[in-house]
Structure 1
Amino acid sequence: MNSEDFLKLDNQLCFAIYACSREITRLYRPILEKLELTYPQFLTLTVLWEHERLTVKDIGELLYLDSGTLTPMLKRMEAMGLLIRVRASEDERKVFVELTEKGNNLKEEALELPEKCIPHFGLSKGEYGEMLLKMNQLIGNLQKVTRP
Protein backbone atom coordinates (compact mmCIF):
# COMPACT_ATOMS: atom_id res chain seq x y z
CA MET A 1 0.00 0.00 0.00
CA ASN A 2 1.46 3.38 -0.95
CA SER A 3 1.23 6.52 1.19
CA GLU A 4 -1.77 7.87 -0.68
CA ASP A 5 -3.69 4.62 -0.16
CA PHE A 6 -3.40 5.10 3.61
CA LEU A 7 -5.50 8.26 3.27
CA LYS A 8 -8.48 6.38 1.84
CA LEU A 9 -11.25 6.02 4.40
CA ASP A 10 -11.46 2.24 3.98
CA ASN A 11 -7.76 1.99 4.88
CA GLN A 12 -8.01 4.05 8.08
CA LEU A 13 -7.73 1.81 11.15
CA CYS A 14 -8.77 4.73 13.34
CA PHE A 15 -11.99 5.12 11.33
CA ALA A 16 -12.74 1.40 11.48
CA ILE A 17 -12.36 1.45 15.27
CA TYR A 18 -14.45 4.63 15.54
CA ALA A 19 -17.23 3.19 13.36
CA CYS A 20 -17.13 -0.13 15.24
CA SER A 21 -17.45 1.68 18.57
CA ARG A 22 -20.47 3.61 17.30
CA GLU A 23 -22.13 0.42 16.03
CA ILE A 24 -21.56 -1.41 19.31
CA THR A 25 -23.03 1.55 21.19
CA ARG A 26 -26.02 1.48 18.82
CA LEU A 27 -26.42 -2.26 19.48
CA TYR A 28 -26.35 -1.69 23.26
CA ARG A 29 -28.70 1.33 23.16
CA PRO A 30 -32.10 -0.47 23.39
CA ILE A 31 -31.05 -2.41 26.47
CA LEU A 32 -29.42 0.64 28.04
CA GLU A 33 -32.54 2.72 27.39
CA LYS A 34 -34.56 0.09 29.23
CA LEU A 35 -32.16 0.54 32.15
CA GLU A 36 -32.38 4.34 31.71
CA LEU A 37 -28.61 4.57 31.22
CA THR A 38 -26.28 6.10 28.68
CA TYR A 39 -23.29 4.07 27.51
CA PRO A 40 -20.79 6.12 29.62
CA GLN A 41 -23.05 5.66 32.66
CA PHE A 42 -23.11 1.91 32.01
CA LEU A 43 -19.30 1.86 31.82
CA THR A 44 -19.10 3.77 35.10
CA LEU A 45 -21.37 1.22 36.77
CA THR A 46 -19.27 -1.55 35.25
CA VAL A 47 -16.05 -0.35 36.90
CA LEU A 48 -17.89 0.18 40.19
CA TRP A 49 -19.40 -3.32 40.06
CA GLU A 50 -15.87 -4.59 39.62
CA HIS A 51 -14.12 -2.42 42.23
CA GLU A 52 -16.98 -1.38 44.60
CA ARG A 53 -15.32 1.90 45.68
CA LEU A 54 -13.12 4.14 43.58
CA THR A 55 -11.99 7.73 43.55
CA VAL A 56 -13.26 10.02 40.82
CA LYS A 57 -9.68 10.16 39.56
CA ASP A 58 -9.47 6.34 39.36
CA ILE A 59 -12.74 6.14 37.43
CA GLY A 60 -11.50 8.78 35.00
CA GLU A 61 -8.29 6.86 34.41
CA LEU A 62 -10.07 3.53 33.90
CA LEU A 63 -12.62 5.02 31.47
CA TYR A 64 -10.29 7.53 29.78
CA LEU A 65 -12.57 10.40 30.82
CA ASP A 66 -11.47 13.82 32.05
CA SER A 67 -13.01 15.33 35.18
CA GLY A 68 -14.93 17.90 33.10
CA THR A 69 -16.86 15.03 31.51
CA LEU A 70 -16.93 12.67 34.46
CA THR A 71 -18.03 14.98 37.28
CA PRO A 72 -21.33 16.13 35.70
CA MET A 73 -22.15 12.52 34.76
CA LEU A 74 -21.47 11.35 38.34
CA LYS A 75 -23.71 14.14 39.66
CA ARG A 76 -26.53 12.97 37.35
CA MET A 77 -26.02 9.36 38.42
CA GLU A 78 -26.09 10.42 42.07
CA ALA A 79 -29.37 12.30 41.42
CA MET A 80 -30.70 9.08 39.85
CA GLY A 81 -29.90 7.27 43.10
CA LEU A 82 -27.30 4.97 41.52
CA LEU A 83 -24.24 6.08 43.48
CA ILE A 84 -22.99 8.36 46.19
CA ARG A 85 -19.93 10.57 46.24
CA VAL A 86 -18.07 10.90 49.54
CA ARG A 87 -15.24 13.32 50.23
CA ALA A 88 -12.25 11.80 52.00
CA SER A 89 -11.92 13.13 55.54
CA GLU A 90 -8.11 13.28 55.30
CA ASP A 91 -8.14 15.16 51.97
CA GLU A 92 -11.32 16.89 50.83
CA ARG A 93 -9.97 17.10 47.26
CA LYS A 94 -10.27 13.31 47.04
CA VAL A 95 -13.80 12.09 46.28
CA PHE A 96 -14.79 8.44 46.54
CA VAL A 97 -17.66 6.96 44.56
CA GLU A 98 -19.72 4.03 45.80
CA LEU A 99 -22.78 2.31 44.44
CA THR A 100 -26.12 2.49 46.18
CA GLU A 101 -28.38 -0.52 46.49
CA LYS A 102 -30.20 0.66 43.36
CA GLY A 103 -26.90 0.89 41.46
CA ASN A 104 -25.86 -2.57 42.62
CA ASN A 105 -29.23 -4.04 41.66
CA LEU A 106 -28.84 -2.88 38.05
CA LYS A 107 -25.99 -5.36 37.64
CA GLU A 108 -28.41 -8.27 37.37
CA GLU A 109 -30.37 -6.53 34.61
CA ALA A 110 -27.19 -5.47 32.82
CA LEU A 111 -26.06 -9.08 32.50
CA GLU A 112 -28.29 -9.38 29.44
CA LEU A 113 -26.06 -6.93 27.51
CA PRO A 114 -23.25 -9.38 26.75
CA GLU A 115 -25.69 -12.27 26.30
CA LYS A 116 -27.76 -10.39 23.74
CA CYS A 117 -25.10 -8.30 22.04
CA ILE A 118 -21.85 -10.26 21.80
CA PRO A 119 -23.34 -12.97 19.54
CA HIS A 120 -23.96 -10.22 16.96
CA PHE A 121 -20.21 -9.57 16.77
CA GLY A 122 -19.88 -12.69 14.64
CA LEU A 123 -16.85 -13.91 16.60
CA SER A 124 -16.16 -17.22 18.29
CA LYS A 125 -15.11 -17.09 21.96
CA GLY A 126 -11.51 -17.56 20.84
CA GLU A 127 -11.75 -14.80 18.24
CA TYR A 128 -13.40 -12.54 20.80
CA GLY A 129 -10.50 -13.13 23.21
CA GLU A 130 -7.94 -12.52 20.47
CA MET A 131 -9.67 -9.32 19.37
CA LEU A 132 -9.81 -8.05 22.94
CA LEU A 133 -6.12 -8.85 23.42
CA LYS A 134 -5.17 -7.04 20.19
CA MET A 135 -7.27 -3.99 21.09
CA ASN A 136 -5.70 -3.80 24.55
CA GLN A 137 -2.24 -4.09 22.98
CA LEU A 138 -3.13 -1.27 20.59
CA ILE A 139 -4.34 0.90 23.49
CA GLY A 140 -1.11 0.20 25.40
CA ASN A 141 1.05 1.02 22.38
CA LEU A 142 -0.81 4.27 21.78
CA GLN A 143 -0.56 5.27 25.44
CA LYS A 144 3.22 5.03 25.21
CA VAL A 145 3.03 7.89 22.72
CA THR A 146 0.06 9.88 24.02
CA ARG A 147 0.79 9.59 27.75
CA PRO A 148 4.59 9.61 28.05
Structure 2
Amino acid sequence: MVGFDHCDVIRGKCVLDDLNKYAFRIRTAMNKIQREINIKMQSQFGLELTRPQLYVLKLISDEEPCKMTDLAKGLGVNASTISTMINRLVQDGLISREYGSSDRRNVFVSITQRGNDVLKQHLQNYSEVLQQYLSHLEPKELETFVRNFEKIASISSC
Protein backbone atom coordinates (compact mmCIF):
# COMPACT_ATOMS: atom_id res chain seq x y z
CA MET A 1 0.00 0.00 0.00
CA VAL A 2 1.30 3.43 -0.90
CA GLY A 3 0.99 6.05 1.82
CA PHE A 4 1.71 9.74 1.77
CA ASP A 5 3.27 11.85 4.50
CA HIS A 6 2.09 15.37 5.18
CA CYS A 7 3.15 16.67 1.82
CA ASP A 8 5.10 14.27 -0.36
CA VAL A 9 6.23 16.08 -3.43
CA ILE A 10 5.98 14.23 -6.71
CA ARG A 11 7.08 16.09 -9.83
CA GLY A 12 7.13 19.35 -7.87
CA LYS A 13 3.53 19.04 -6.70
CA CYS A 14 2.12 18.46 -3.23
CA VAL A 15 0.26 15.13 -3.34
CA LEU A 16 -2.09 16.21 -0.53
CA ASP A 17 -3.35 19.05 -2.71
CA ASP A 18 -4.43 16.46 -5.28
CA LEU A 19 -5.88 14.19 -2.56
CA ASN A 20 -7.91 17.11 -1.19
CA LYS A 21 -9.28 17.81 -4.65
CA TYR A 22 -10.24 14.17 -5.14
CA ALA A 23 -11.80 14.01 -1.68
CA PHE A 24 -13.85 17.10 -2.49
CA ARG A 25 -15.02 15.60 -5.79
CA ILE A 26 -15.99 12.33 -4.10
CA ARG A 27 -17.84 14.16 -1.33
CA THR A 28 -19.68 16.28 -3.91
CA ALA A 29 -20.75 13.20 -5.88
CA MET A 30 -21.89 11.38 -2.73
CA ASN A 31 -23.88 14.42 -1.60
CA LYS A 32 -25.59 14.58 -5.00
CA ILE A 33 -26.65 10.94 -4.69
CA GLN A 34 -27.84 11.50 -1.11
CA ARG A 35 -29.87 14.56 -2.17
CA GLU A 36 -31.60 12.52 -4.86
CA ILE A 37 -32.49 9.84 -2.32
CA ASN A 38 -33.73 12.51 0.12
CA ILE A 39 -35.99 13.97 -2.58
CA LYS A 40 -37.55 10.54 -3.14
CA MET A 41 -38.03 10.05 0.61
CA GLN A 42 -39.57 13.51 0.95
CA SER A 43 -42.09 12.80 -1.80
CA GLN A 44 -42.95 9.31 -0.48
CA PHE A 45 -43.03 9.91 3.28
CA GLY A 46 -42.97 13.67 3.76
CA LEU A 47 -39.73 13.54 5.69
CA GLU A 48 -36.04 13.89 5.14
CA LEU A 49 -33.68 11.86 7.27
CA THR A 50 -29.99 12.48 7.77
CA ARG A 51 -27.45 9.70 7.31
CA PRO A 52 -26.89 9.45 11.09
CA GLN A 53 -30.65 9.17 11.67
CA LEU A 54 -30.92 6.40 9.09
CA TYR A 55 -27.96 4.63 10.63
CA VAL A 56 -29.57 4.78 14.09
CA LEU A 57 -32.88 3.57 12.64
CA LYS A 58 -31.07 0.60 11.06
CA LEU A 59 -29.25 -0.21 14.32
CA ILE A 60 -32.50 -0.12 16.27
CA SER A 61 -34.15 -2.31 13.64
CA ASP A 62 -31.36 -4.88 13.97
CA GLU A 63 -31.16 -4.86 17.78
CA GLU A 64 -34.61 -3.97 19.09
CA PRO A 65 -35.58 -3.33 21.75
CA CYS A 66 -32.45 -1.29 22.19
CA LYS A 67 -31.41 0.38 25.43
CA MET A 68 -30.60 4.04 24.74
CA THR A 69 -27.44 4.00 26.86
CA ASP A 70 -26.15 1.00 24.89
CA LEU A 71 -27.00 2.75 21.64
CA ALA A 72 -25.09 5.88 22.73
CA LYS A 73 -22.06 3.81 23.79
CA GLY A 74 -22.11 1.83 20.55
CA LEU A 75 -22.16 5.04 18.53
CA GLY A 76 -19.56 6.75 20.70
CA VAL A 77 -21.82 9.68 21.55
CA ASN A 78 -23.12 11.07 24.83
CA ALA A 79 -26.64 10.54 26.14
CA SER A 80 -27.87 14.03 25.21
CA THR A 81 -26.78 13.60 21.59
CA ILE A 82 -28.62 10.31 21.22
CA SER A 83 -31.66 11.72 23.07
CA THR A 84 -31.95 14.56 20.57
CA MET A 85 -31.83 12.15 17.64
CA ILE A 86 -34.25 9.72 19.29
CA ASN A 87 -36.69 12.56 20.03
CA ARG A 88 -36.80 13.44 16.34
CA LEU A 89 -37.32 9.81 15.29
CA VAL A 90 -40.11 9.40 17.89
CA GLN A 91 -41.70 12.66 16.72
CA ASP A 92 -41.67 11.36 13.13
CA GLY A 93 -43.32 8.12 14.28
CA LEU A 94 -40.36 5.97 13.23
CA ILE A 95 -39.51 4.54 16.64
CA SER A 96 -41.24 4.14 19.98
CA ARG A 97 -39.75 4.75 23.39
CA GLU A 98 -40.54 2.80 26.54
CA TYR A 99 -39.29 3.25 30.08
CA GLY A 100 -38.10 0.36 32.22
CA SER A 101 -40.71 -0.88 34.69
CA SER A 102 -38.29 -1.23 37.60
CA ASP A 103 -36.04 1.72 36.75
CA ARG A 104 -37.39 4.59 34.66
CA ARG A 105 -33.82 5.64 33.87
CA ASN A 106 -33.67 2.63 31.57
CA VAL A 107 -35.10 3.74 28.25
CA PHE A 108 -35.69 1.28 25.44
CA VAL A 109 -36.41 2.12 21.82
CA SER A 110 -37.99 -0.03 19.11
CA ILE A 111 -38.75 0.58 15.47
CA THR A 112 -42.40 1.13 14.52
CA GLN A 113 -44.16 -0.24 11.46
CA ARG A 114 -43.79 3.20 9.85
CA GLY A 115 -40.08 3.10 10.73
CA ASN A 116 -39.74 -0.31 9.09
CA ASP A 117 -41.57 0.97 6.01
CA VAL A 118 -39.37 4.07 5.78
CA LEU A 119 -36.18 2.06 6.29
CA LYS A 120 -37.17 -0.55 3.71
CA GLN A 121 -38.11 2.16 1.18
CA HIS A 122 -34.90 4.08 1.85
CA LEU A 123 -32.81 0.99 1.16
CA GLN A 124 -34.78 0.37 -2.03
CA ASN A 125 -34.43 4.01 -3.13
CA TYR A 126 -30.72 3.92 -2.37
CA SER A 127 -30.30 0.80 -4.47
CA GLU A 128 -32.34 2.24 -7.34
CA VAL A 129 -30.43 5.53 -7.40
CA LEU A 130 -27.06 3.76 -7.28
CA GLN A 131 -28.11 1.37 -10.04
CA GLN A 132 -29.22 4.33 -12.13
CA TYR A 133 -25.80 5.95 -11.81
CA LEU A 134 -23.84 2.71 -12.21
CA SER A 135 -25.77 1.75 -15.35
CA HIS A 136 -23.88 4.51 -17.19
CA LEU A 137 -20.57 2.68 -16.74
CA GLU A 138 -19.21 0.04 -19.06
CA PRO A 139 -18.81 -3.40 -17.40
CA LYS A 140 -15.02 -3.01 -17.20
CA GLU A 141 -15.35 0.50 -15.73
CA LEU A 142 -17.87 -0.78 -13.21
CA GLU A 143 -15.59 -3.63 -12.14
CA THR A 144 -12.68 -1.23 -11.68
CA PHE A 145 -14.84 1.26 -9.77
CA VAL A 146 -16.20 -1.40 -7.40
CA ARG A 147 -12.78 -2.96 -6.85
CA ASN A 148 -11.26 0.44 -6.00
CA PHE A 149 -14.20 1.41 -3.79
CA GLU A 150 -13.93 -1.89 -1.88
CA LYS A 151 -10.19 -1.33 -1.52
CA ILE A 152 -10.78 2.09 0.00
CA ALA A 153 -13.51 0.74 2.28
CA SER A 154 -11.26 -2.05 3.54
CA ILE A 155 -8.62 0.38 4.79
CA SER A 156 -9.01 0.91 8.50
CA SER A 157 -8.69 4.47 9.75
CA CYS A 158 -8.12 3.28 13.33
Aligned residues: 139
Partner Cα separation in structure 1 for residue 81 and residue 30 of structure 2? 19
1:27 matched to 2:36? The reply is yes
- 2:41 aligned with 1:41: no
1:126 to partner: Cα distance: 8.5
TM-score with structure 2 length normalisation?
A: 0.63
Separation in 1, partners of 2:25, 2:78:
24
User: How does the TM-score come out when normalised to structure 1?
Assistant: 0.66
Q: Which amino acid aligns with 1:6?
A: V
Determine if the alignment matches structure 1 residue 104 to structure 2 residue 116. Answer: yes
Runs of at least 4 residues off by over 3 Å: 13-21, 57-69, 87-94, 121-130
What is the alpha-carbon root mean square deviation over aligned residues?
Answer: 3.4
Give the counterpart letter for 1:52 in structure 2.
E
State which structure, 1 or 2, has the greater radius of gyration over its C-alpha atoms. 2
Deviations 1:45-90 (A, max 9, x none): 2223333332334444565655444321211211222211223446
Which structure: greater helix fraction?
1
Any stretches of 5+ residues in structure 1 without a counterpart?
A: none
Q: Unmatched 5+ residue regions in structure 2?
A: 1-7
TM superposition shift of 1:38: 1.4
8 Å Cα contact 1:32-1:42 kept in structure 2? no
